[in-house]
Amino acid sequence: LFLIGLLFVGGAVALLLRAAAFPRLRAVQTIASITGYGYAQPPADAAIGRSSLLGPLDEIAAGIGFLFGRWLGFARESGIRKHLLAAGLYRVDPRRLVGYQVLTGAMMALLWLWIVAAGRTSGFLAFVGTIGSAACGWYLPLLLVKRRARSRLESIEYDLPELIDLLVVGVE
């Protein structure tokens, strides 16, 4: 009797796992059928995983972004999230982007200071250049995200009429 109960429990667990995985399998089949009509997903950028070389840098940027994200506030974070979603960067956290902004700003300022130290430059030019390069480094990651978002939205707007035509033909 115990073995029969164990068999039923095992069967129930197997059915629950199948029920949980079935919608995902159905979505994969639907997407595969859509690509059969000529709509293939554009080649994605190489995904950065935890095993890649940039994994530790992502963690550092996320930590720095967490510290500065609290200081910048929620309104800025929601604005950054909108830009990331428009760019199709669904897995990038806004705080990680802020971390990359801080890191890029610091690296640009350090690069400027290194260039200034190698040559003879006035103190005023060194100060203004450091502030300017830090500001450029701060804005560069967000500029790249906005550019990618604009390109992605233009691509969607370009392909939308053809998609509507295919939907109309499919309905007829």
Q: Are 80 and 139 a contacting pair, CB within 8 Å?
A: no
Could you give phi then psi for residue 37, rounded to 5 degrees? -90, 5
82/76 Cα distance (integer angstroms): 10
What pTM does this model have?
0.61
Instruction: Give 42 or 127, the one with higher predicted confidence.
Output: 127
Q: How confident is the model at residue 74 (pLDDT cuts 50, 70, 90)?
A: low
Q: For residue 132, what pLDDT is reported?
A: 93
What amino acid is encoded at 40 in this protein? A
The residue behind tokens 């293939």 is 40
Q: Give the mean pLDDT of 24-32.
A: 65
- The pair of structure tokens assigned to 44 is 């994605």
Q: For residue 50, what pLDDT is reported?
A: 45
Q: Give the mean pLDDT of 61-76.
A: 76
140/161 Cα distance (integer angstroms): 33
**Using one digit for the tens of pLDDT, what is the confidence trace for 107-133?**
999 988 888 888 877 888 888 989 999
* CA-closest candidate to residue 69, choices 42, 40, 101: 101
The residue behind tokens 């130290």 is 117
Q: For residue 147, what pLDDT is reported?
A: 92
Q: Give the mean pLDDT of 155-162.
A: 86
- The pair of structure tokens assigned to 122 is 């006035």
Q: For residue 47, what pLDDT is reported?
A: 45
Q: For residue 23, what pLDDT is reported?
A: 64
Helices (H), the chain: 2-35, 55-72, 74-86, 94-118, 123-171
